[in-house]
Amino acid sequence: MYHLFKSIYLHATSKEEYSILLLGLDNAGKTTLLEQIKAAYSSSNPNLRTVPTVGQNVTTVSLPPPNPPIYLKIWDVGGQHSLRGLWQSYYTSCHAIVFVIDSSDVGNATLAELSSTARANAAAGTDNPEIDNGRLEECRLVLESVLQNEDAAGVPILVLANKQDREDCVEVVRIKEGFVRKVFEGEKGESVRDSRVLPCSALTGTGVKEAVEWLCSRVQWNKEGRPPVMR
Ligand SMILES: Nc1nc2c(ncn2[C@@H]2O[C@H](COP(=O)(O)OP(=O)(O)OP(=O)(O)O)[C@@H](O)[C@H]2O)c(=O)[nH]1
Ligand SMILES: [Mg+2]
């Protein structure tokens, strides 16, 4: 009888917990985003004086109603080149991935032109000084490697076009149509995946709640594929 009551009590009081993995190049804004999420759901002030992450930061948030009563455990890992090899150890246990892009560092031409120019330059081993490619090509290679990893297969991906507060940013529609769609539909993409592209400014907090709400709905939608941990 004790065990029956205990299991009823645990069932009634425990909540589903889903892990969210923040990825993206160094300087994209992952740690700033983590700080804003933490602040948004705990009524504290965000610490926006970030330093490059070596290792990981983690925080767990509980969303208020009308969101479902779940926990999101958010993992922020370092995006520097030498640290990207560590990302794959998080793939099997994550329920969704957020790929953060610095929208002010993807070039000054249209993204379609940039993609083809960057590829042509890479193939020819040259660089056209007239066009600033930013880090678009590096970003493409890194996003492709995430999509191709078997341990991350089927995991919902939210691409965040961050730093939308900056005057020199590329707008979200261009990032979506000229870059993300091409990567997802390209031969190294995986078009059957649940995905979305949203604008945000981790610095001001704009778009952060919309991002979290999308994640919240998609991890629950995918819970048969990746069941939550009960806490
Ligand atoms: N203008 C603007 N700056 C931002 C935004 N998000 C982050 N930054 C700035 O970008 C820089 C890098 O931000 P971080 O959050 O530390 O970047 P990160 O992705 O965690 O970098 P790593 O830890 O090296 O992988 C900091 O100076 C932030 O203040 C944004 O939305 N707008
Ligand atoms: Mg960081």
- The string of pLDDT tens digits covering residues 68-126 is 899 999 999 999 999 999 999 999 999 999 999 999 998 765 555 655 655 565 566 55
Domain 24-61+99-230 has CATH 3.40.50.10800: no
* CA-100 nearest atom, ligand 1: 19
Mean pLDDT of 15-35: 97
Q: Give residue 225's pLDDT.
A: 94
Q: Give residue 192's pLDDT.
A: 74
Binding residues for Mg(2+): 31, 53
DSSP, res 163: -
DSSP, res 46: -
Instruction: Examine residue 156 and say whether the peptide bond preceding it is cis (omega within 30 degrees of 0).
Output: no
Taking Cα atoms as reference points, which of 98, 95, 186 lies closest to residue 144?
186
Q: Give residue 110's pLDDT.
A: 56
Hey, where are the domains in the chain? 24-61+99-230
Among 21, 25, 26, 27, say which to mutate for ligand 1: greatest number of ligand atoms within 8 Å of CB.
27
Q: How many CB atoms lie within 10 A of CB 17?
A: 17
Average pLDDT, the chain: 89
**What SS3 state is found at 158?**
strand
pLDDT above 90 (res 30) = yes
Q: Give residue 193's pLDDT.
A: 82
pTM above 0.95?
no
The number of helix segments (H) and strand segments (E) in the chain equals: 8, 7
> What residues have a C-beta under 5 A from ligand 2, the ion?
30-31, 53
Asked if the interface predicted TM-score (ipTM) of this complex is over 0.90, the answer is yes
Residues 6+ apart with CB under 8 A from 79: 23, 24, 25, 26, 27, 28, 30, 53
Ligand 1 and 165: CB distance under 6 A: yes
Choose the most confident range, by mean pLDDT, from 65-69, 154-158, 189-193. 154-158
